[in-house]
Amino acid sequence: MSPKGTLRSKGRLGSFTSPHATSGNFAIKSLSKRGASGGSYKIGFVQESAISLRKRSFNELGAGVSNNISDVSYVNFLEWIRAERLTTLPHKGSRWDKVLIRALYFAEQLHNFDQAIQGFALDSQAAAAVGYGHGRLLLELGHENSAALDKAFSVLYKFSLSFSTVLRRSELLAATAEIREQLCLLYTDLISLVVDVSIRFYKTANGMTSGSASLDIFELFGETIEGFRWRQDSVVELIWGSQIENEDFEDGEALDMKVLSRWLSPQDRVLATLNRDHSFFVDQQVEMTCIWFQKNLTRFLQSDKSSLLVTGQPGAGKTTLAGSIVERLQRPVNCKQAIRLAEDIAYNMRRAHGPRASVTIETYELLAQLYTSMGQTYMSKAASEKTGPLAQEYFKKALGVHEDILRLVVHEHGSGDDSDDELDTTAYLLAKEGVNVKKQEGKPTAALDAENIDKSAIALRHLQLLKLAYQRLGGWPKSYDEYERLNAQVFRTFGTEAKWKGVQGTEKWSAKEFGNGKAESQDGGFKGIQDWALGSDKIILQAHNGPIQGGANGMQVSEMHTASEQAIAYA
């Protein structure tokens, strides 16, 4: 059954669905062009597709509409959703709430796709901007069209999410030229689908077409969707094939992909049933369905339990509940998304200003405070909700940030190039999520080490914070030898200064009386976003050595507002 509904002309849509490709499919022979970095070559048809889609949008929607959505970035898109939530205040579980949630996570998946192919696709960011712009155009049709938009973003999000697990394996994506080319075609297929759907919906809602107001996505855009599915399967098979070729099998031992796929598929009918896409049932649900179960699900996810059993008589709604649970688990739970955004901001601050710039160091201290506070929050619930392991992970991350900063201020190198990524916790965490942190073009500003920062004071501050993080964790997360060497280097560099007199090194620290979030001082944490003073034109984050001012010279206000809004939404 395909999602289908009626579009109301002059402003109101019904709903929609769909599988085939239409005008947005660019299965042309790829042209490679020299990238901006000089020596590497990038696939050119992503850029060509973006140009073609822009022209089509201009011709069908007109200059005014087309220009309004021409330069929408990922952050702009998130900011629009934030503003819309503040304006309409949708009830949790309402249709419009679901539309905004699905639009948000569709944009995140598109952003991740863009990040994954930037190293070999020319102008992929410009192509992503086409997707964000037409996604916003859909949302601008308004909450009165939420039934139709819910189906639209459900399909878009599911298709973008279906490939997310592969994108996390960034080391496999550029294995062969054929994989790279098919990935770029898959990327343009996804953006083409967004543009096709957006144009059709906009024209129908505004009375620009004489067609039926009832739209069926899988009927209208079936070619594009089938092409996307075929391309996705093709990329997965190419990656498997590349991996198998590298295994050096003996003659006659080579594995056939179809045989391997059948072997990996569940043979038991019960397991096959559990493995099917239960989220399909969510598309048929009315507003507020299964909202009552969300708190139970959250408590389970925060515990250390490995299974959750829900029983009921036939017809009680177990299948409906399963669909709701699966759909919810496809999105981050609690404040994981807000923390990921904070890590993104810290890492990009470091890329822009350099790792030793004062604004970067202060931002990382704030990130460590966020980790510490999250750890303490989880630890406070550990007895009743079994969240101790989660708390320990956050304490470990906070310790890692302070360790990174100490290594940076005593490190021999004064440049902020990619070689410093090995010293950075956020680079490691983002790389695990599939973000390309090594092949980014451009360098940080030259102000990096020219800035007159007090390295001794910074080292003293973060040595103390490292001690507190060690106490909260209850021990060292790695071999003590590493910390002993770091301690020796710190004291060799700064220990002769007067302000270091009486400072104890790691050899005198003890965590016996601490652990489980306890330390000799509360320093290194904050209560939450109420500690941030948010102004109308700038943002001020209260940090140890004074305020960090955002805006043109620091963090973008929209980015920090988005971080705080998401922290509210998921806390």
Question: What is the reported pTM?
Answer: 0.55
Q: Which pLDDT belongs to residue 410?
A: 86
Of 284, 311, 329, the position where a domain reaches its end is 329
Q: Is residue 53 part of a domain?
A: yes
Tell me: do 218 and 297 sit in the same domain: no
Residue 363 lies in a domain: yes
Regarding whether 236 and 176 lie in a shared domain, the answer is yes
| Same-domain check for residues 373 and 429 | yes
Residues 444 and 540 in one domain: yes
CB atoms within 10 A of CB 19: 18
Indicate the residue among 296, 313, 329 that finishes a domain: 329
Residue found by looking up tokens 């990096």 in the block? 448
The residues that bridge with 549 in the sheet, in sequence order, are 540
Q: Which amino acid is at 436?
A: N
CA-based torsion, 292, 296, 302, 305: positive or negative: negative
486 in the same domain as 532: yes
pLDDT at 259: 73
- For residues 379 and 396, state if they share a domain: yes
> How far apart are alpha carbons 469 and 406 in whole angstroms?
14
* Shared-domain flag, residues 425 and 449: yes
pLDDT for residue 268: 63
In angstroms, the CA 358 to CA 548 distance is: 9
User: pLDDT at position 352, please?
Assistant: 79
Determine contact, residues 142/203, Cβ cutoff 8 Å.
no
Parallel, antiparallel, or unpaired: how do β-strands 546-549 and 539-543 relate?
antiparallel
10-residue mean pLDDT series, the chain (571 residues): 46 40 36 42 84 91 87 88 88 87 88 85 90 94 87 83 71 78 88 91 78 64 80 82 71 66 68 52 66 78 74 79 74 65 79 82 88 84 70 90 90 45 55 49 43 83 93 90 92 92 92 87 66 34 37 35 37 33
One domain for residues 99 and 219: yes
CA–CA gap between residue 434 and residue 116 (Å, rounded): 7
The answer to whether residue 290 sits within a structural domain is yes
- Looking at the fold, whether 410 and 550 belong to one and the same domain comes out as yes
Identify whether 240 is part of a domain.
yes
In terms of domains, do 83 and 223 share one?
yes
End-to-end CA distance of the chain: 36
Domain that holds residue 540: 336-565
Same domain, 325 and 344: no
Answer with the one of 210, 229, 258 that is the final residue of a domain. Answer: 258
Question: CA distances (Å), 365 to each of 224, 362, 407, in order?
Answer: 47, 5, 14
**Residue 466 confidence (pLDDT):** 94
- R_g of the chain computed on alpha carbons: 26
Number of domains in the chain: 3
Token digits for 66? Answer: 């087309």
Q: How far apart are CA 38 and CA 45, in angstroms?
A: 18
Q: Residue 484 falls within a domain, yes or no?
A: yes
